[in-house]
Structures are given as structure tokens and as C-alpha cells.
Structure 1
Amino acid sequence: MKPLILITGPTGSGKSDLSVALAKKLHTEIISADSVQVYRGFTIGSGKITPEETEGIVHHLIDIKDPHEFYSAADFYEAAAPIFEDLWQRGKIPIVCGGTALYIHSLIYDLDFSEKPSTTLRKELNNLYNRRGLEYMVALLKEKDATMAEAVDLNNPRRVIRALERIESGHVETEQLRKKRKGVDPLYIVLDWEREALYDRINRRVLKMVEAGLFDEVETLYKVYGSDVKPMGSIGYKEVVKYIKGEWDKATAIEKIQQHSRNFAKRQMTWFRKEEDAVFIPMSELTKDAALEKILELEREKYGTDRGFNGD
């Protein structure tokens, strides 16, 4: 069984920072599992790690796609698998860091990505959305698969339609999230914060993004790509687009980013709590160093060493 450490948790939980500290201890590399950070140019709003913040640790699957290019959980798995193999051959434990649940699940569960989305089905769902509206589509999603609905941004029509598409086509149904992948022995770490502490972190994180130039970043991207490219529908970007279009003032856009981020964090934790093998690290009770030592302890117990699974 090959080792694989997953560092996940809700938005704003400190995954990147802790993953870098862990990678330095284990002398290994990090694979990003974030559906927005794969896109070039989408930096501030996605919380993309800066070159300085990497502290020299190699990060994979960041800035690998242009905004108009399609990228799915299947694409993520296909890109990540050879990186894992390379690290294992070098005696290193891969660390996956990110909060995109389906990306994480593609590594743990033997999901069937063979079926391609049906163009006809997508058109039918888009037409249904145009006729009945978002509220109807959300109700339909909850009726068909309540678990998947909990992990989807229900304010984002594109995400709701894609979820319905997966259900209707049999593509990555909830039932598939029970068949474990063979040959991999993951250490599934979830960074868990008390709700009020997490929400405060999220609110402050959004303000830091604004100070770092989030609105300028989105305006630049909007001039080049418009609002139809997939990552522009992400939290932090779609709200600023409304500001650019004159639908919201700046204060409202910031407030909505904070609200939507908090809502997303709640959905993420609901999803993670359903994972029977996940180990929750109580971040509200621990310093960063204590949390790191706890993870290293779990790694030693599971794999027998804190320097790599073959003791290099």
C-alpha cells in the first residue's frame, strides 16, 4: 500500500501554510487539489500560494490551464497520478493540499470517469434552468442527491447544472464514493475550526484579498475573458463581476464574498464529516506547531517514519 497524505478542510482553514510546514519536515512535494488555482491569472481570489510562501517546496498543478480550458476531477486525477508515482519511486510521501472535495475523492475512491458528459443532456438542463430558474434547479438537485447538493455552491447556476448533469448521466454518483481505490493508503487530514473562529478567519482573509488587489485582478481578467469562463463563476470573482457590471457597490460585493465563502465552508465541512476515515485536527485548540506535530505523529503511526515511507 502506497502512502498519500491529504491536507484538506474548509476555505480559510490554513491548509497551504500547514502543508508547506509538513512538506519541509518530510522532504517532499505538494500537489494542489483546487479547482480554481489550476487557472493562470486567477491568483488573489483563489488564495493561490505565492512563490515566497512556498518556502522552496515544489507545488504541482497550479497555473497549468488557461481560463477558457475545461478541467475536471478526471483531468486532475490523470495529472496527479504520474506525480505520485514519481514521488513514490523517490521514496517520498506525496502531500495533497486543497479543498475541492471531488478532486480529493478521485484519489480515495475508484470513480468511473469513462463516461463523457452528454451534450444533449447539458442543453436540456440549461433549457430547464432558463425556463424554471435557479430555485427550481436547486430543489431538483436536493431531491435527486442531497449529499451532492451539500457540496455544491447553490448560488452558482453553472455548478448546480453540472451536479445535475453528473447525476443524470451516472457520472460520479454518490454511490461511487464507497468503493475505495486499491493500492493507496491515504492519511486523510481535515483542519477543523470552531465555527465562529473560522468565520472570523474567512472575513479577515477576504479583506486581505481586497487589500492585495482582488478588484484589479478581476477587472483585468474580465476585460480579457468576460464572465463566461468557468473560473469566473467562483467565489471572489463572480461577486466582483457584479460590481464591475454596476449591479452592486464595492461594499456589497465584499460582504457577499464573505457571506458566500462562509456558506461554502459550511458545505465543505458537512461533506468532510461524512468521511469515515478522515482525521479532524482541532485547529481552534492548537498552535500551528502543535497541529504539525499531531499530523507528524499520525504519519509515524500509519507509515512508520516521519522522513518518507522507505526511511530515506
Structure 2
Amino acid sequence: MERPVPLVVIVGPTAVGKTAVAVEVAKKIGGEIVSADSMQVYRYMDIGTAKPTEEERQGIPHHMIDVVDPAEAYSVALYQAQARRCIREIWERGRVPLLVGGTGLYVKAVLEPLHFAGAGVDEAFRRRMCAVAREKGPLAVYRLLKEVDPEAAERIHPHNVKRVIRALEIYHLTGRPMSQRLQELKEDPPPYRAVLYGLTMEREKLYRRIEARVDEMLQRGLVEEVRGLLERGYGPGLVSMQGLGYKEMAAYLRGLSTLSEAVYLLKRNTRRFAKRQFTWFKKDGRICWIDVGNYSSIMEVVQEITTGAEGVLKEASKSN
């Protein structure tokens, strides 16, 4: 039987302070960080994704950052395979893996037996559904999904057109709902002995932090970063360019809004995104929540996590 790998997981909404906490935890326990952020996988997209700088990383290795070009297709299945490989290699080097990020589906893909193989691809069907979404709007294809797989529709945001179309494609190819296939295609769970922590804070304080972060991104050159991407041929229709910050600033640079309108939308959309992150993670009963507002310093939060992770690390060291 494969020995379980200890895994410290730190999740939470955007701007709550995951990066700073995770770096300090890694320093204390000899760890390396595996990013669980669906935007930080893209190269050249640094400011808008709040990608940690070299200074912020403080020498701690970070993985699953800058792995694909903004024009390349990327999927949860690819992330799952690559992140799991990183985790195994970190442990084999005698270090402790930390999975850190706010993309709930990425975290779920690492920790749970999500099976993405076997359904196949139908490019013509995808093109037809994309045309429907363009001509009639995202809700048109979402309504189609609700008809054939209401369970999957409950889990997918109506405007996540890519995932909605993939769920419809699975039904089209197999004649069965995606939710049913996921139940049928069970595999053994990955061999992790995981301890999960979620960082949270009072909602209005988080929203103020989000607005301050957006202001900081603008000062650091977010508009220039997006302009550079557009000039290099990364069009607004790319999945990567639909990310927070890029979508709003691309609209401004194309003359579809003023800068003040774009900033307003970015702040509003980021607040809404944080709310969806809360909703996703609150459903996971394994997560031990830490309200960072109840601690006087970041190091107290770090101590809470490292103390809680000690048991998992000791058990792993015994099995080795």
C-alpha cells in the first residue's frame, strides 16, 4: 500500500492573506507551496492575478505558477495531474507540500477522486454551443444544461460557459449526465493525509482589503500589463483574458468603458467572487476555519496552523 503523503491545505477568499500566511508556515515546517489558483497558472499575467513576487515568496519554492501561455488551453484535469505530481515530488525530496489557493475546484481535484477521462471530445458540438452562447447569451446554454443535468447545473456558475458546455458535451457523447458519470467513475482517493485550514475575516473588512488591493494593482501597472497582453495578440475572447482585472481593463482599453467604470466593475466583481469562494469552501466540513481578525499578528495564525499540522507530520514521519 502506498504511504500517505502529508498535505497542509490553506484556502480562503481572495485578499484574505493566504500567501503571506502560507510562506511563513512553509518556513516553519520545511515546506514548498503548490498554488491552487486558476489564474496564476498563466505566464505574463502577474499583477492582475496577485501572483506572489520573488520578495513575497521569501525563498520558498512555489509550484503550479507560470505553467502555460495565456493562449493555451488548460483544464482542471491537467491541473489535477500536474499538482498531484508536484505534491509527490516535494514529499520525496524530504519537504512538506502545502496546497494554497482560492480556486475551490482545483483544491477539490487534488483531494478527491475526480475522474476526467473517458468521455471524449466533440469539437463540432463545442463550436455549436459556443455559437449559441454568443448569439443568445450564456444563460441559453445554461438552461440546456438544467434540462439534462440539473445536479451539475447546481454546481456550475451560469456564466462559466466553458464548464457548462463541457457538461453538455459529456451528456451529448455518453447519453448520461456528467453528475452520474462522476459517481460511476470512482477511483481510490489520492493517498494524502491532509489537514485543511480556511482563512476568513469579517466581510466588510475583507471588502475594504479587496478595494485596496485593486488600487494597489492599478498603481503597480495593471492597465499597462493588460495593454501589453492585448498588443501581443492575447485577445479578450481567451479564457485567460476573462479573469478578474483582465476582462475589465481590456474593455476600458478597447474603448468600451471609462477607466473609472472599469475600476468600479473590477472591485464589484471581485467582491462577488469572494462571496462565491466563501460559499464553496463553507460546504467542506473538513476545513478548520481561522478568523484572522481574532489574532493580533500573522505569526499567531501561522502558529495555529503549524501546531494543528504537527500530528499529521508526526504520523507521516513514523510511516517513513
- 2:130 maps to 1:126: yes
Change (3 A) 1:150 1:17: farther
How many Å separate the matches in 2 of 1:122 and 1:108? 29
How many Å separate the matches in 1 of 2:15 and 2:150? 27
Equivalent residue letter for 2:31: T
Tell whether the 8 Å contact from 1:28 to 1:95 is kept in structure 2 after alignment. Answer: yes
How many Å separate the matches in 1 of 2:190 and 2:238? 36
Identity of aligned residues (%): 34
- 2:15 maps to 1:7: no
Query: What TM-score does the superposition give when structure 1 sets the normalisation length?
Result: 0.88
Change (3 A) 1:44 1:303: same
- SS of residue matched to 1:113: coil
Aligned to 1:267: 276
Change (3 A) 1:72 1:60: same
Change (3 A) 1:42 1:101: same
- 2:137 maps to 1:136: no
Tell whether the 8 Å contact from 1:125 to 1:165 is kept in structure 2 after alignment. Answer: no
- 2:293 maps to 1:289: no
Tell whether the 8 Å contact from 1:141 to 1:149 is kept in structure 2 after alignment. Answer: no
Aligned to 1:73: 76
What does 1:5-154 correspond to in 2, within 5 Å?
A: 5-115=8-118, 116-139=120-143, 144-145=149-150, 152=157, 154=158
**1:107 CA displacement:** 1.1
**1:137 CA displacement:** 3.8
**1:150 CA displacement:** 5.9
Change (3 A) 1:63 1:139: same
Query: What TM-score does the superposition give when structure 2 sets the normalisation length?
Result: 0.86
Change (3 A) 1:203 1:247: same
- 2:219 maps to 1:211: yes
Deviation beyond 6 Å, 4+ runs, structure 1: 166-172, 177-180
**1:68 CA displacement:** 1.1
Change (3 A) 1:190 1:162: farther
What does 1:169-248 correspond to in 2, within 5 Å?
A: 173=179, 176=182, 181-224=189-232, 225-248=234-257
Q: Across the two proteins, how many residue pairs are aligned to each other?
A: 309
Greater mean alpha carbon deviation, residues 194-203 or residues 206-215: 194-203
- SS of residue matched to 1:279: strand
Q: Which has the larger radius of gyration?
A: 2
